[in-house]
Homo-oligomer: A and B are copies of this chain.
């Protein structure tokens, strides 16, 4: 993308009303614009990150055997009356009345709707196991939206729902999601720690939150330091195999959010391994058995001909929240430092003198070569002064910068800068491309 044709409204001012660094940086880099309390437009730069995160989550859900569909944002009140949550949910649920005076709502979560889809079609144990997921905008009417997209009202979430015949099978489905989540967060450059957590309004008695550590995290978390060094299960994991060891490897260590924290258990960890920190929740998985299937009469026939309520779990990832969460974990004093997998562009190409024909020609050729190599490139072809170009590239945090200037052209090299390490090197363009592609 040529910057002269792009829409990148970067600002030098630190917004006064943004309390945390990710919110400040998202406003300064023109990633989002607030349209109302907790409601945002994703400007082009921010939208690209949102899409990349959504796609990583999609790929890891698919790899784990989940099947994608898409439920609507607006739901009928009747389903929530069936499950008993219509009154329970309180003021966080955005309630709507249509022109025919029907009661509706903007879905804050989808357990009821997916249970209704399931019971409409699935009648036999033979169709199980089944895991259906979607990535859709949701609305929770938070009383005090804050921290930008981290606690907005309209937010993008991936939510998956598993259906199994037995509790044992349901736990196997839970384990698949547990591992898929670790892989997904790992691909985003995050260390997400699964922690015992409260189940809140979703319900059930088995639940893990996936937490990334950050000083600005909204809750206190406690874990064994050993958990920070455990590698993700890996993309070659066989999701048809028994994954209980893979899960136990992690749950054997102590890790809990404030609500589930047990000081005595925590005290048993060697002192040097006791991590007491702040954390940001980026995912949450639940096993809740028949909490919805029973009242909503979602039953399947067993091999014996009996009808039993289906065993269910649900699995959420906060896609829009992750954009803020990743910035909290990945920034420095000059701006954002994107992990390459979720960066809006993988490389920023800077032409030092776009009005100098020789420089413009080489820069144009470099732009074509980078794109031909399958890389997402933001090409700064503006005639602003170099200092302002470098500052902007640092601020928006693309992992690599390639600078084309008259001196380099003479020597047949470009300057390649790694945003994270700050390391600069002069090398031929083809070698720079290889380095960027290697990540």
Contact = CB atoms under 8 A, between A and B. Distances in A.
A10 to B, nearest CB: 10
Interface string A90-124: 01001010111010101000000100110011100
Contact of A40 (B72, B127, B137, B154): B72
A20 to B, nearest CB: 21
Nearest to A50: B70
Interface in A10-44: 30, 33, 35-37, 39-44
Contacts of A70: 41-42, 47, 50
Given A113-B35, A141-B98, A141-B99, A74 B104 contact: no
Given A36-B104, A76-B36, A113 B67 contact: no
Interface residues of A, number: 54
A99 B143 contact: yes
A345 interface: no
Nearest to A132: B7
Contacts of A154: 72-74
A116 B34 CA distance: 11
Given A74-B39, A96-B96, A30 B121 contact: yes
Nearest to A152: B72
Contacts of A379: none
A69 B47 contact: yes
A5 interface: yes
What 7 A-B pairs are tightest by C-beta distance, nearest first?
A9-B121, A42-B70, A36-B76, A91-B99, A41-B71, A72-B154, A39-B72
A98 B39 CA distance: 12
A89 interface: no
A130 interface: yes
Given A74-B106, A91-B99, 8 more contacts: A7-B69, A9-B120, A33-B117, A35-B72, A35-B76, A35-B113, A47-B134, A96-B106
16 contacts: A6-B67, A7-B67, A9-B120, A33-B120, A35-B71, A41-B70, A41-B113, A44-B67, A44-B68, A46-B69, A47-B68, A73-B106, A74-B139, A96-B96, A106-B106, A137-B137
